[in-house]
Amino acid sequence: MNTLKISKKEKYIVVQLDRGKANVINQEMVDELRELITNAENDDNIGGIVLTGKPHFFSGGVDLLEVYYYTSEQIRKFWGSFLLLATEMIAFSKPLVASITGHSPAGGCILACACDYRVMAKGEKYKIGLNEIAVGIAPRQSIMQLYSFLIGKRKAYQFLLEGYLMSPKEALEFGLVDQLTELNETLSIAEAKIQQYLSFPTKAFMQTKKALKKELLTQMKLNFEENLDILHKQLMSEESRIIMGKVVDFLNAKKN
């Protein structure tokens, strides 16, 4: 795989996002993550997954420098497959633990939210949350449901309207992450958590997880194509393209 590094442990795998400095998400990464989730679900030798990033970045979110230049058809495909990835991660029957090694805004936050447990690196400089509105993207109902599942409807409503990014300390306080630790310990603690999950009776764990996430999964799948059409139309609107274009110009200037 080109965007993922996979390390096999005795009962689980560690998957490191591996695409540039910030692990920004493009179509290839989404496709590879979806393939990975499907293969792991069907492989009896894989008991679960730890998803991790690189020092200072779990994932910087969607790669606007690439996705902005997709055709209209490619943009619809990308967002559709990304939303399906989030749904498939939530539906994954085995333990799925996030080792959040730094910044995790927008799409990176969604990947983390879809996991069962989130260990995040300490540090006020790191930010996590859904700030899509700031770049001209209106999150769909399914993502709002996912955010609300973790931090509650009131805070999700407030933070989504403001595009608010939390510090790790705030993320712990509001329930977006489950544990804070030093950057160099995030992976080891995430591995300890998945080992704990794997020590439980397998079928009981799977059935419990399925029951706990049943309502969320129903919401994630509800009116999927209709909501994707709405999202696609919004993304292709003049307002959205102008805002994202300005962000892309800023990122290009920063890069150069």
- The residue count for the chain: 256
| Residue 241, pLDDT above cutoff 70 | yes
If one looks up domain 4-183 in CATH, what number appears?
Answer: 3.90.226.10
Measured between alpha carbons, how far is 83 from 221 in angstroms, rounded to an integer? 9
Name the residue ranges covered by the structural domains of the chain. 4-183
DSSP code of 149?
Answer: H
Measured between alpha carbons, how far is 109 from 127 in angstroms, rounded to an integer? 10
> What are the tens digits of pLDDT across the range 74-103?
999 999 999 999 999 999 999 999 999 999
| Residue 255, pLDDT above cutoff 80 | no
Which SS3 state, helix, strand or coil, does residue 7 take?
A: strand
DSSP code of 70?
Answer: S
For residue 160, give both structure tokens: 């989504």
| Residue 244, pLDDT above cutoff 90 | no
Measured between alpha carbons, how far is 81 from 91 in angstroms, rounded to an integer? 15
Report the percentage of the chain scoring pLDDT > 70: 100
> What are the tens digits of pLDDT across the range 185-209?
999 999 999 999 999 999 999 999 9
Report the percentage of the chain scoring pLDDT > 90: 84
